[in-house]
Amino acid sequence: KQEVTQIPAALSVPEGENLVLNCSFTDSAIYNLQWFRQDPGKGLTSLLLIQSSQREQTSGRLNASLDKSSGRSTLYIAASQPGDSATYLCAVKTGANNLFFGTGTRLTVIP
């Protein structure tokens, strides 16, 4: 069974700092990996999607990498801002079409 782990569970950084969030998964037979943002009590906003054949994707200050063989992905956030404060979730899509989620990293960016 696919298991997804996110480290750290919580992270607090000063504004302007670059940071890396980590995601690992146990079964490398995935179709893609998606990073989401979730504000408290809200739904999920899709940030980046990486296909299994890709190594990375970029959107603005966000860069996500994927090493499928080692079961790892990272989300890099450059020049963090207080508005980046949220919980970040990674999810992998398997052949069954459903997503397996990690428990998330709660990020706080201090002004």
Q: With respect to another protein, which residue has the nearer C-beta, 76 or 101?
A: 101
Question: Tokens 């994927």 map to which residue?
Answer: 66
Identify the residue among 69, 83, 96, 111 touching another protein (CB under 8 A). 96
Rounded Cα distance between 21 and 72, Å, is 11
Other beta carbons within 10 angstroms of residue 51's beta carbon come to 14
Structure token digits, residue 23: 């995601």
Smallest distance from another protein to CB 15, Å: 26
Helices (H) and strands (E) in the chain, counts: 0, 11
4 touching another protein, by CB under 8 A = yes
Region binding another protein by CB under 8 A among candidate stretches 13-21, 44-52, 66-74, 78-86: 44-52
Interacting residues with another protein (CB under 8 A): 4, 31-32, 34, 36, 41-46, 49, 51, 89, 91, 93, 96-104
